[in-house]
Amino acid sequence: MSEKKKRIGIMGGTFDPIHIGHLILGETAYHQFHLDNVLFMPAGNPPHKQDRENRATDSQRVEMVRLAIASNPHFTLSMEEMHREGYSYTYRTLERLKKRYPDTEYYFILGADSLYTFDEWKEPARILGACTILVGTRNHTSDEKLDRVIEQLEEKYHGKIEKLESLNIDISSKMIRSWIEKGRSLAYYVPDQVIEYIQKNNIYKDCDEDEV
């Protein structure tokens, strides 16, 4: 009898900063798809986010993720992309992990906004060849539109995309940064330990709220 494959979720992103939307998506994926663990994987050098002046440093982003997930036994910090040469491409990361752990099934977690631009990602077919994509929704996203995009992408790239049954929390790191710049409270939107770390290290104070 063959041994059961491990099921690992991957929550990637710049996490600049990490917020409850990330954590809720990761927790939803863990329970809904019976995952063994969820890797929170800060991007080291994402090709689509090169202008990060007045943002958190790499080490600060990593530390904020560590603080945010410390109390959850099935969340793990992964440094897989942090010290790679060149750009951090998702397909390379997934193929590297699949080669290293061939008996593991990977589930890549992302929001609906990211799925709508999936055609613009580097090697989308290779991404879907190496994992199942789990997609969350947001308040401004219609089920009909999301279902249509999922169907089109699955047909085009011969992959599997599943919807997450998560709460529709309309929150982004960009919004959090703008609140910090304006001096607005982050209570309940960002874990307390991360709020304390941001304040202690004076991160994002000079961040332009209109930056992406």
- Each of the 212 residues of the chain gets a pLDDT tens digit; together they read 457 899 999 999 999 999 999 999 999 999 999 999 999 999 986 655 555 567 899 999 999 999 999 999 999 999 999 876 667 789 999 999 999 999 999 999 998 889 999 999 999 999 999 999 999 986 556 688 899 999 999 999 999 999 998 876 778 999 999 999 999 999 999 999 999 999 999 999 876 544 43
**For position 212, what pLDDT does the model report?**
36
Strands 132-136, 104-111: pairing is parallel
To 5 degrees, how large is the angle CA 6–CA 61–CA 171?
A: 80
Q: Which two tokens stand for residue 212?
A: 């992406």
**For position 200, what pLDDT does the model report?**
96
Measured from the Cβ of residue 196, the count of other Cβ atoms closer than 10 Å reads 12
CB contact at 8 A, 176 and 139: no
Sequence-separated (6 or more) residues with CB below 8 Å from residue 50: none
Q: Which two tokens stand for residue 14?
A: 């710049």
**For position 191, what pLDDT does the model report?**
97
Q: pTM for the full model?
A: 0.90
DSSP state of 201: H
CB contact at 8 A, 8 and 37: yes
Rg of the chain over Cα atoms, rounded to whole angstroms, equals 17
